[in-house]
Amino acid sequence: MTDQAQTAPAAKKLFIKTYGCQMNVYDSQRMAEAMGAEGYVLTEDQAQADMVLLNTCHIREKAAEKLYSDLGRLRSLKVAKPDMKIGVAGCVAQAEGAEITRRMPQVDLVVGPQSYHRLPAMARGEGPSIDTDFPAEDKFDHLPERMATRRAPAAFLTVQEGCDKFCAFCVVPYTRGAEVSRPVDRILSEARNLVARGVRELTLLGQNVNGWHGVGPDGREWGFGRLIRAIAEIDGLDRIRYTTSHPNDMADDLIAAHGDVPQLMPYLHLPVQSGSDRILKAMNRKHTAEQYLRLIDRIRAARPDILMTSDFIVGFPGETDQDHAATLRLVEQVGFGTAFSFKYSPRPGTTAYDRPEVEAAVADARLHELQALLGRQQQAVQQDMVGRTLGVLFEKPGRETGQMIGKSDYLHPVFVDAPQAQPGDLVQVRIVESRSNSLRGELLT
């Protein structure tokens, strides 16, 4: 060790816990980069941290409750280490603001998802300790360039944020704000930068990602399909995915891109929430079950092997047994690769909040039934992969010696015995076994 290293002040340590969706994962990376410029390095050990940042989720009541139980546990750590700063970021910060510091005085900073570029200044003690503005400036213009915080071959890239759809159950339009599309040049430069650092797969993120639009370098108005085509031209980028989409924003050009952009992976998460027209209307989804089914026909006509996934809410206020049966029917008709299903959780501020709730036991039984059906479909789809040869992008070593874990084209985790391989290798693998939530494959030599 050199003298300099011995006398240099130890870097401050930052521990980040991320709850919720992939955009929070992305935001946590950007916050880590911003704090990195302030001399903070990431630690995995909360007890060692000079700052603990909780990047929160407000989508369902349980998600928000987790924050308060974690903050309760952090109280004793702060007593032992009074200089440690505690920050709350993300959607609970946005929704609850000063209520958080009122309930939990040990919290030093509260920062919403649109103002986290101000986090470094807040941490220095400059400016307010609570910032839940929707500032006029674009946070991305005030954040450091993407850095390789982790050398991972797959990365997220936010292209759009916020939502104007106002589904009756959803807090996102309030916590993330109105729909904003990032400009084409910024997206392309961030994408090129990531690819130059070894990224081979990009997942484009947005609460309503397929509602993205912007003006291209040709001066024309671009839709999301056109953006994907431009990103696909980046040399060295092998795979493109995107999430999350609204059925009403699946434009013709985007559907066509699934047929003619080879880098666009055959996987689409397209939440439908319910199969009952009555409930879809009450949810303000602005489409029918039939329209969703016809849309999937068109997507499958463009890309026949596409694996469809979705989100469902059971027990939405007013949901009857017939409505639930209609949801099961829709699931049978589509055949999903996997899907997320949730029991309705009333969220303050949303239009459905005050509506009479379905009895908890009934909602539980419906959730159970739906999940059983979705589970059977998932197993059938995975079983169908056995014997097929698929592309797999290795992401990290597995637990067993010589094993690698990667994702297939269809986003299934695949375990492969590949002692010579490195993360970032994109290989051809023959699937030999389906396990509960993953596949096992053999390297084709």
| Site of interaction with ligand SF4 (CB under 6 A) | 163, 165-167, 170, 172-173, 207-208, 246
Q: Which is nearer to ligand SF4, 208 or 408 (CB)?
A: 208
Nearest to ligand 5AD by Cβ — which residue?
A: 311
Q: Which is nearer to ligand SF4, 87 or 173 (CB)?
A: 173
Closest listed residue to residue 342, CA positions, set 272, 421, 399 = 272
Partner that binds at residue 248, options ligand 5AD, ligand SF4, none, CB closer than 5 to 8 Å by kind: none
Among 347, 366, 407, 412, binds ligand 5AD (CB under 6 A): 347
Q: Which is nearer to ligand SF4, 179 or 201 (CB)?
A: 179
> Minimum Å distance from CB 97 to ligand SF4?
20
- Contact call for residue 342 and ligand 5AD (CB under 6 A): yes
**Using CA atoms, how far apart are residues 91 and 368, in angstroms rounded to an integer?**
28
> Minimum Å distance from CB 311 to ligand SF4?
8
Closest listed residue to residue 57, CA positions, set 95, 29, 85 = 95
Token pair recorded at residue 205: 């993120």
Q: Which is nearer to ligand 5AD, 342 or 394 (CB)?
A: 342
**Using CA atoms, how far apart are residues 228 and 241, in angstroms rounded to an integer?**
9
- Contact call for residue 176 and ligand 5AD (CB under 6 A): no
Question: What residues are paired with 244 via a beta bridge?
Answer: none
The piece of 90-98, 145-153, 178-186, 337-345 that touches ligand 5AD (CB under 6 A) is 337-345
- Contact call for residue 58 and ligand 5AD (CB under 6 A): no
> Minimum Å distance from CB 66 to ligand SF4?
20
CA dihedral 107, 113, 115, 121 (to 10 degrees): 40
Closest listed residue to residue 424, CA positions, set 390, 389, 385, 397 = 397
Among 40, 224, 242, 344, binds ligand 5AD (CB under 6 A): 344
> Minimum Å distance from CB 353 to ligand SF4?
14
Token pair recorded at residue 79: 């007593």
CA dihedral 384, 386, 390, 392 (to 10 degrees): 110
Residue 34 CB contacts under 8 Å (≥ 6 apart), including other chains = 116, 117, 119, 120, 143, 144
Partner that binds at residue 194, options ligand SF4, ligand 5AD, none, CB closer than 5 to 8 Å by kind: none
| DSSP string across 223-292 | EHHHHHHHHHTSTT--EEEEE---GGG--HHHHHHHHH-TTB-SEEE---B-S-HHHHHHTT--S-HHHH
Residue 87 CB contacts under 8 Å (≥ 6 apart), including other chains = 51, 52, 53, 54, 107, 108, 109, 110, 111, 119, 122, 123
> Minimum Å distance from CB 270 to ligand SF4?
11
Partner that binds at residue 94, options ligand SF4, ligand 5AD, none, CB closer than 5 to 8 Å by kind: none
Partner that binds at residue 204, options ligand SF4, ligand 5AD, none, CB closer than 5 to 8 Å by kind: none
> Minimum Å distance from CB 212 to ligand SF4?
14
Q: Are 137 and 74 in contact (CB under 8 A)?
A: no
**Using CA atoms, how far apart are residues 138 and 374, in angstroms rounded to an integer?**
40
Q: Which is nearer to ligand 5AD, 123 or 313 (CB)?
A: 313
> Minimum Å distance from CB 164 to ligand SF4?
8
The piece of 10-18, 280-288, 343-351, 384-392 that touches ligand 5AD (CB under 6 A) is 343-351
- Contact call for residue 345 and ligand 5AD (CB under 6 A): yes
Q: Residue 331 is which amino acid?
A: V
Radius of gyration in angstroms for the set of CA atoms belonging to the chain, rounded to a whole number: 23
Among 43, 115, 203, 273, binds ligand 5AD (CB under 6 A): 273
Closest listed residue to residue 177, CA positions, set 193, 158, 160, 200 = 160
Q: Are 140 and 29 in contact (CB under 8 A)?
A: no
Q: Which is nearer to ligand SF4, 165 or 343 (CB)?
A: 165
Q: What are the residues binding ligand 5AD (CB under 6 A)?
A: 59-60, 169-170, 271, 273, 311, 313, 342, 344-345, 347
